[in-house]
Amino acid sequence: MERARKGTDALRVTLLGTGRPKPQPGRTGPAAMVEAAGKYFVFDCGRCTLQRLEEAGVPMGELRFLFLTHLHSDHIVGIPDFWLTPWIFGRGDRPLHVWGPEGTRRMMSKLAEAFEFDIHLRRDVDEKLDPGGVEVVAEDVEQGFVYEEDGLRITVFDVDHAPIRPAFGYRIDYRGRSAVLSGDTRYSKNLIEFSRGVDLLVHEVAAAPPAELQRSERLAHVMGHHTSPEEAASVFSQVKPKVAAFTHVVSYGIERSEIVERTKAGYSGELVMGEDLMRFEIADEVKVVPPAP
């Protein structure tokens, strides 16, 4: 597979995992990858993220940049694998950088404690791996933080996933191309503001049958943290991206085709239901590349 190279204008977004918290065939935990300026940036790290990165053909030693939207377990359970396995297979002496909401630094230092047996063994006793490659540089960030390098800008903004605070979306800009990843959020005016003029908007969605919502208070509560197809239609209609794509599809007893239909009832632009390993090539147009069969 041809990869983004330094010096090209390409901005490429790959959905690594598009699933809900409960495991399901064919859809893994939330994660996406952005390729730009010859580097790979991963956003969230749900179940099987490293597996999907391998399937996407990413050189494991290049996995050094991770941004987190929030600290719900389904978005972070893949971190130990993403952190430790590339240390064994090619990261060399380069650390892993992690940015996320308040609590990210603390979580990463606790992970270092949890895995100290393995780290000690591989670093000091058995394989004598480079100590630098297991180091973590973690930073708690907030809205206003911008990562900037080689013409690439990654902007953090608040979304509304209350009571889970903070929770972020990310905007990525590179040489006139742009993408927004919503993270987990209910309808968010702030997201609409930060998404102005964006080429690709990747947004979460959730739906459940009304009878189920009435029966289960807990389900109704959880669904209230997320965006319904009708609300997504309103977001997309205001943002007017070249392409809108759904990810983190939380559907209980509702077909994905129905989610798309309900959204299209209120939004006439291009909309795709995201799949694991679906890719978006953002140039003058946004090309949607379905996963290989």
Task: Name the residues that contact Zn ion, by CB under 5 A.
Answer: 72, 184
* Cβ proximity to Zn ion, 158 vs 184, nearer residue: 184
Question: Which residues on neighbouring strands pair with residue 43, listed in sequence order?
Answer: 32, 67
CB of 72 to Zn ion, least distance (A): 4
* Cβ proximity to Zn ion, 35 vs 184, nearer residue: 184
* Cβ proximity to Zn ion, 204 vs 281, nearer residue: 204
User: Is position 150 annotated as part of the catalytic site?
Assistant: no
| 144: three-class secondary structure by DSSP | coil
CB of 46 to Zn ion, least distance (A): 10
173-180 long-range Cβ contacts below 8 angstroms, 24+ apart: 174/9, 174/11, 174/36, 174/37, 175/9, 175/11, 175/151, 176/9, 177/9, 177/10, 177/11, 177/282, 177/283, 178/11, 178/282, 179/11, 179/13, 179/34, 179/280, 179/282, 180/239, 180/241
CB of 69 to Zn ion, least distance (A): 8
- Of 74, 160, 173, 276, the catalytic one is 74
* Cβ proximity to Zn ion, 77 vs 112, nearer residue: 77
CB of 184 to Zn ion, least distance (A): 3
What number of H helices and E strands is found in the chain?
9, 15
Active site residues: 74
